[in-house]
Amino acid sequence: MNWKQFSGNPVRFAQVVYTSSFGDIFFVILTIFNTNSVLLARHLEHLPQFVSDLRAARLFKRRIRENRMLSNNPPAENQEQVLEFVDSCQLPTTWANFHMHAFFEPATGKEHIALTLGEVADGQPVLARIHSECLTGDALFSQRCDCGPQLEMALQKIAQEGRGVLLYLRQEGRGIGLLNKVRAYHLQDDGADTVEANQLLGFAADLRNYGLCDPMLKHLGIQSLRLMTNNPRKLAAMAGLNVTVAEHVPLIIERNQYNNRYLNTKANKLGHLIQPDL
């Protein structure tokens, strides 16, 4: 299948909507917008993979609802409920001996981490990275994205300065979760780009919620950031949380044959502040 033929087409492909009114009986409604029977037949070949794991799909839908619920709640008012600090410890790494701070998010059961180095609660802007979990990139050396090298570069820069913070948020695959990320990668193997793949699975291009940053930073006593990112949405999210970003520090990663198209899509469709390749 050549997904490129859908480029520029307003077709949203399909949305799988389901209910579970009778125990294990699920009704799958495939809604096709503005498409034709040939395209429909091609789309339908992906239907079994949606149907095969409706339980997982239901879980992800619930996660989206929870994220929306959290994002609708002003963090300042719900700081205690949104995130609980658990404990801190030393975390020696290749580059520096960090402090690791553990947080628990009761609404989702997720566990989040912050790494700090040096004195970060002195009121001066802190070199910072807000990193969303990417198991494949962070831990499995995947070259499909730039997450692993960005994480490594951020920790190196913090170590070089001897002062900084890294917030590690557990929102895998821009918020769609690991299993759906594998599905999205499968669609990308067939030609879809990273945004199209998320949308084909029924998700928005980016579901990440940065509301957790506020209680984490408050707990750490951090008032102002020198934020390492290429993502303008992250900068806008900090503005929305009234977190001061004193400086935007680009975090540019080398391209390879596997991440080249991904980085172009991030630049062209998600507005990331990186130069599109030729």
Task: Summarize as ranges the residues that interact with Zn ion (CB under 5 A).
Answer: 134, 137, 145, 147
Nearer to Zn ion, 76 or 178 (CB): 178
Cα gap 143→148, rounded to integer Å? 8
For the bound state, the minimum distance from the C-beta of residue 158 to Zn ion, rounded and expressed in Å, comes to: 20
Residue 74 phi/psi, 5-degree rounding, is -60, 125
For the bound state, the minimum distance from the C-beta of residue 99 to Zn ion, rounded and expressed in Å, comes to: 25
Contact indicator for 190, 1 with CB cutoff of 8 Å: yes
For the bound state, the minimum distance from the C-beta of residue 147 to Zn ion, rounded and expressed in Å, comes to: 3
Nearer to Zn ion, 83 or 169 (CB): 169
Task: Based on the residue annotation, tell me whether 206 is a catalytic residue of this protein.
Answer: yes
Nearer to Zn ion, 128 or 151 (CB): 151
**E strands of 43-200, at which residues?**
84-92, 97-105, 110-117, 126-132, 164-169
For the bound state, the minimum distance from the C-beta of residue 145 to Zn ion, rounded and expressed in Å, comes to: 3
Cα gap 264→271, rounded to integer Å? 10
Which of 63, 138, 208, 214 is labelled catalytic? Answer: 208
Cβ atoms < 10 Å from Cβ of 41 = 9
Angle between helix axes 213-220 and 75-82 (nearest 10 degrees) is: 80
Nearer to Zn ion, 51 or 253 (CB): 253
Which of 12, 163, 170, 206 is labelled catalytic? Answer: 206
Nearer to Zn ion, 16 or 252 (CB): 252
DSSP 275: P
For the bound state, the minimum distance from the C-beta of residue 168 to Zn ion, rounded and expressed in Å, comes to: 13
- Sign of CA pseudo-dihedral 87, 62, 272, 244: negative
Q: Which residues pair with 84 in a beta bridge?
A: 104
Rg (CA), the chain: 20
Task: Based on the residue annotation, tell me whether 208 is a catalytic residue of this protein.
Answer: yes
Tokens matching residue 57: 């799909």
Q: Which residues are catalytic?
A: 206, 208
